[in-house]
């Protein structure tokens, strides 16, 4: 006798939309043979179906739909029922083997297309199970897609998807629009070249070629981008290959590091000035200091100078040596700054 209903198609009602009594009773027998105790509801025309779908009725597990009703038929009927079904899986039961209609129906989202003359309990049961499993998978996929779309749209950092061949933008998030100044429509008419200075096109081409060779490495580098206003920003780029709407694409996350870059530039400029000062002190100031110390040495070997002059010369010599130590300390500290600067790069 085969498997008995065990909850695989859910606890809802099976809605059979069929105007022919003989066809309905046959379908009903097939259903009850496999799904003992199943709740089956029949609607004999489109109007009754609309009322039932819009009314306060038990949850519907699946809809079995005849394509030829007294008041509706064909693809228009399919579209209307799909629009009211609230994602309930739909299986078409047709008396005609129309391949084109079957293909169009499946493209619209119908779960299955069965020919009445080929029906038996096993085929119908398998179609029901497949429809429910497919519907669960599609619902899960839609929820997952929505979640990731929201993560993309509301990321605080600019993100976009582009075609690695044409370089055209395929999608951008809100942060990218806010940062770069373009709206969604403008982005969709652009390529990633349009946010690069022309003199940086070669660097862009080199980066794209390198990404093809190093697909497992998300970090692409730091680049200069152009805003709609014409201002330039420094951005840290991370990218990965993805499938987007069935085609190969690349997902990019851009981190604006302009402030950090400018801060580093300021520090480097300060370090350069400090090195210049240190060089000046060690070469220009030290030269006359050395001469002063030399003169003191000459005076010390002269005879006949007073004790007061001797004391003053000793103090002058002591101060000169202290100044020399200060200059040496500045030079050493500057060397340490240069060493740390080299480590960072």
- Considering only CA atoms, which of 242, 195, 246 is closest in space to residue 218? 242
Q: Give the phi and the psi of residue 242 in degrees, each rounded to 5.
A: -140, 170
Over range 333-344, report the average pLDDT.
59
- Which is the CATH superfamily of the domain at 157-252? PAS domain (3.30.450.20)
- Residue-level pLDDT at 131: 85
pLDDT digits (tens, 9 = 90+) for 164-180: 999 999 999 999 999 99
The pLDDT-based confidence of 6 (bands split at 50, 70, 90) is: very low
The pLDDT-based confidence of 332 (bands split at 50, 70, 90) is: confident
- Residue-level pLDDT at 318: 76
- Residue-level pLDDT at 301: 66
Which of 110-124, 197-211, 276-290, 328-342 shows the highest mean pLDDT? Answer: 110-124
The pLDDT-based confidence of 334 (bands split at 50, 70, 90) is: low
Residue ranges of domains in the chain:
13-150, 157-252, 261-344
CATH topology of domain 261-344: Helix Hairpins (1.10.287)
Any idea which residue has 């946010």 for tokens?
Answer: 195
Mean pLDDT lowest among 125-129, 134-138, 174-178: 134-138
Which CATH entry fits the domain spanning 13-150: 3.40.630.10, 3.40.1590.10, 3.40.50.2300, 3.30.70.580?
3.40.50.2300
Mean pLDDT lowest among 82-91, 213-222, 236-245, 325-334: 325-334
What tokens were used for 15?
A: 């809605």
Mean pLDDT lowest among 179-188, 215-224, 305-314: 305-314
The CA distance from 31 to 28, in Å, is: 5
What tokens were used for 55?
A: 């009314």
Over range 67-83, report the average pLDDT.
91
The pTM of the full predicted model, rounded to 2 decimals, is: 0.49
User: 329 burial class (0-12, 13-18, 19+ CB within 10 angstroms)?
Assistant: exposed
Over range 178-189, report the average pLDDT.
96
Q: How far is CA 89 from CA 80, 127, 313, in A?
A: 14, 11, 106
- Considering only CA atoms, which of 337, 159, 338, 343 is closest in space to residue 252? 159
- Residue-level pLDDT at 282: 61
| Spatial contact of 109 and 137, defined as CB atoms under 8 Å apart | no
The pLDDT-based confidence of 345 (bands split at 50, 70, 90) is: very low
Q: Which residues of 150-187 are buried (b: 16+ CB within 10 A; e: fewer)?
A: eebeeeeebbbbbbbeebbbbbbbebbbebbebeeeeb
- Residue-level pLDDT at 162: 95
CA angle 267, 269, 273 (to 5 degrees): 115
- Residue-level pLDDT at 8: 42
- Residue-level pLDDT at 341: 53
Over range 285-314, report the average pLDDT.
67
Question: What sign does the CA torsion over 125, 131, 132, 133 have?
Answer: positive
| Spatial contact of 87 and 139, defined as CB atoms under 8 Å apart | yes
What is the bridge-based pairing of β-strands 40-43 and 13-17? parallel
| Ranges assigned E (strand) in the chain | 13-17, 40-43, 60-66, 68-69, 72-73, 90-94, 112-115, 159-162, 169-172, 219-226, 232-244, 247-256
More confidently predicted of 214 and 39: 39
Mean pLDDT lowest among 42-51, 235-244, 299-308: 299-308
The pLDDT-based confidence of 259 (bands split at 50, 70, 90) is: confident
Which of 66-75, 206-215, 271-280 shows the highest mean pLDDT? Answer: 66-75
């Amino acid at each position: 006798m085969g498997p008995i209903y065990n909850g695989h198609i859910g606890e809802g009602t099976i809605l059979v939309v069929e105007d022919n009594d003989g066809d309905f009773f046959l379908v009903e027998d097939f259903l009850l043979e496999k799904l003992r105790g199943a709740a089956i509801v029949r609607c004999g025309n489109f109007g009754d179906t609309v009322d039932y779908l819009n009314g306060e009725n038990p949850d519907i597990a699946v809809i079995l739909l005849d394509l030829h009703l007294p008041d509706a038929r064909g693809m228009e009927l399919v579209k209307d029922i799909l629009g009211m079904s609230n994602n309930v899986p739909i299986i078409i039961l047709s008396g005609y083997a129309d391949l084109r209609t079957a293909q169009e129906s499946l493209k619209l989202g119908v779960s299955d297309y069965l020919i009445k003359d080929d029906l038996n309990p096993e085929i119908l049961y398998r179609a029901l199970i497949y429809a429910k499993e497919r519907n669960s998978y599609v619902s899960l996929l839609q929820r997952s897609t929505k979640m990731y779309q929201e993560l993309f749209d509301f990321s605080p950092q600019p993100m976009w998807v582009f075609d690695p061949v044409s370089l055209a933008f395929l999608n951008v998030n809100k942060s990218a629009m806010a940062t770069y100044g373009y709206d969604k429509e403008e982005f969709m008419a652009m390529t990633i070249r349009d946010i690069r200075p022309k003199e940086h096109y070669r660097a862009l081409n080199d980066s794209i070629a390198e990404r093809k060779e190093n697909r497992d490495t998300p970090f692409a580098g730091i680049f200069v981008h152009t805003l709609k206003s014409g201002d330039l920003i420094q951005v840290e780029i991370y990218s990965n290959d993805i499938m987007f709407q069935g085609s190969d694409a690349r997902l990019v996350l851009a981190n604006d590091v302009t402030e950090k870059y400018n801060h580093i530039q300021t520090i480097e400029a300060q370090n350069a000035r400090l090195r210049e000062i240190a060089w000046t002190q060690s070469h220009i100031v030290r030269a006359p200091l050395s001469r002063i110390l030399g003169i003191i040495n000459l005076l010390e070997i002269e005879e006949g100078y007073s004790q007061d002059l001797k004391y003053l010369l000793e103090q002058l010599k002591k101060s000169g040596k202290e100044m020399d130590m200060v200059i040496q300390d500045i030079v050493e500290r500057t060397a340490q700054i240069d060493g740390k600067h080299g480590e960072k790069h």
